[in-house]
Structure 1
Amino acid sequence: MNLLTLSDVTVRAGGSLILDRISLSIDPGEIVTIVGPNGSGKTTLMRTILGAMPVSGGTITTRPGLTIGYVPQKLPLDGSLPLTVARFLALPHRHSPKKIAGALKLAGLPDIGDRQLSALSGGQMQRALLARALLSEPDLLILDEPTTGLDQQGEAGFYRRIEMVRDKRGCAVLMVSHDLHVVMAASDRVICLNGHVCCHGTPASVASAPEYRALFGHGTGGALALYRHDHDHEHHGHSHSHD
């Protein structure tokens, strides 16, 4: 059974049509990425799936007992607030130190629980937010443009971490991203959104689709090669081709 299914979901806001008859599904264990230009409704779609925005038409069906972990784009914090990473992860629900340490390790931040949250870099903060989402042991992990502000190497590293989380936990992943280049290689399926579903399928099929190219052009190939080269190098100690 699908974890999540949207059937002809339509969303209006202030009299404007934001999402027009969106149909999609997420299967257990797959990584699905939503891409689209600014104003295409990506964040609205995430908010609708999370129940923060009402649908004007259509239906959203979830598997009974579905647990969702959410990683926001950023977290506004008072920089002067004295809060350690471990304490932050224990809010609002307490978790054992062992569970917190395990989530931090899986997110790529081992031995950082005693550090002040305000002292984290942008990349470390995103991994702390990932660790927080993992504490709920989600069936579905939802991330809204999680690498905003990171450089290309940081983006690629974060997406590799997401793949690792999926492989270790078996959770499905739904991401919204503007990072067309590196994100494509991290996904099992890509859905191109522009108020409606323009095209969807494997990364390769979407990258070559006329609807995708009409929106984004042809400029993803080189960075896809960079991601794959780095990915091969990291996992196998050497690189293969830059295909």
Structure 2
Amino acid sequence: MSPSPPLITADCVALQLAGRQLLRDISVELTQGEIVTLIGPNGAGKTTLLRLLLGLSKPTSGTVWRQPGLRIGYMPQRLHIDNSMPMSVQRFLQLGQSDMKAVQAQAALDRVGAGQLLKASLANLSGGEMQRVLLARAASRKPQLLVLDEPTQGVDVGGQSELYQLIATLRDELGCGVLLVSHDLHLVMAATDRVLCLNQHICCHGHPEQVSRDPAYLALFGDKVAPYTHQHNHQHKLSGDIAGECNHKHSDTESGDKNREQQ
């Protein structure tokens, strides 16, 4: 059986704006069934590259090819909700999908473990609840490619680990490719198939363990960032609170990494 064709291919892509080189010599391929994570320091061009891959902007040079009719489910980095605008989670899920029935909205929430939020007010959701609702909306489109920009924004470390596990489950259920943009290095390195380390160009790429030892990666992030594993005997509530006791197994640098993320 021949391998599936790529979903998106970028070949020698570069972008220059107002005389400033934002991206240079980027070549990347996204395929079905693979979780690819894009990491890099602030200002590395992660969001810029994301926009190029999705066709929201055009490169100065190079080409971006997308599979014809490619269905993309997109989860934004953050969503600002006007508290004065009453909107239920169900109504939010139905925006742009007028044919979505209540039973389908319920199923989308059930899939991400947020079934009880159907009638909740969007403005009253916690950070963890909002991220799951956004993920439910992106996945409800039955995408071939799920694009997630900082999907664990506003979620505590334990909740982040469970959210990454959920993303892997969705990948398996939907049979889709996943493109993650993240700065949660210690968590994301344990939850992805392939890492692209970006700093205007692709500094290094490959399996997380391989990238974590690459000199280019270490030059950007230092040798204090290690792949993170999280083992526990509890469940996190949607709000992020812990139900039960926790036993962690992690590198000695976890606390330092978490502090850097919060800065």
Task: Output the amino acid matched with 2:222.
Answer: G
Q: 2:128 matched to 1:123? A: yes
| Structure 1 residues 108 and 27: alpha-carbon distance in aligned structure 2, compared to 1, 3 A threshold | same
Q: How many residues align?
A: 236
The yes-or-no answer on 1:13 pairing with 2:17 is yes
How has the CA–CA distance of structure 1 residues 167 and 10 changed in structure 2, closer, same or farther, with 3 Å as cutoff? Answer: same
Task: Give the equivalent residue in structure 2 for 1:144.
Answer: 149
Q: Is 2:158 aligned against 1:153?
A: yes
Q: C-alpha deviations, 1:62-90, integer Å up to 9, x for none?
A: 12221111000111221121100001111
Which amino acid in 2 is paired with 1:109?
Answer: A
- Alignment of 1:132 onto 2:142: no
SS of residue matched to 1:29: coil
Question: CA separation in 1, counterparts of 2:18 and 2:113?
Answer: 41
- 2:107 partner amino acid: G
Q: How does 1:62-211 map to 2 (within 5 A)?
A: 62-94=66-98, 95-211=100-216
Q: What residue ranges of structure 1 are gaps of 5+ in the alignment?
A: none
Structure 1 pair 240–109 and aligned structure 2 pair: CA distance change class (3 A): closer
TM score, norm. by length of structure 1? 0.91
Report the CA distance between 1:158 and its aligned residue: 1.2
Per-residue CA deviation, residues 117-151 of structure 1 (Å, 9 max, x unaligned), is: 01100111111111111121100000111212222
Q: Secondary structure at the match of 2:153?
A: coil
Higher helix share: 1
Question: CA offsets per residue over residues 181-204 of structure 1, 9 Å max, x none?
Answer: 100111000000000000000000
TM-score, normalising length: structure 2: 0.85
Measured in 2, the distance between the counterparts of 1:62 and 1:8 equals: 15
Instruction: List gaps (5 residues or longer) in structure 2.
Output: 236-246, 252-263
State the partner residue of 1:58. 62
Identical pairs, percent? 47
- Specify the code of the residue in structure 1 equivalent to 2:109: L
**1:123/1:241 CA distance change after superposition, 3 Å:** closer
- Give the CA deviation at 1:103: 1.2
1:42 and 2:63 are equivalent in the alignment: no
What whole-Å deviation, never above 9, does each CA across 1:10-39 have from its counterpart, x for those lacking one?
A: 112222110101001011110000000010
> CA separation of 1:86/1:233 partners in 2, compared to 1, >3 Å: closer, same or farther?
closer
In the TM superposition, residue 233 of structure 1 has moved relative to its aligned partner by 8.0
Deviation at 1:111, TM superposition (A): 2.3
Structure 2 distance, partners of 1:161, 1:151, is 15
Counterpart of 2:26 in structure 1 is: 22
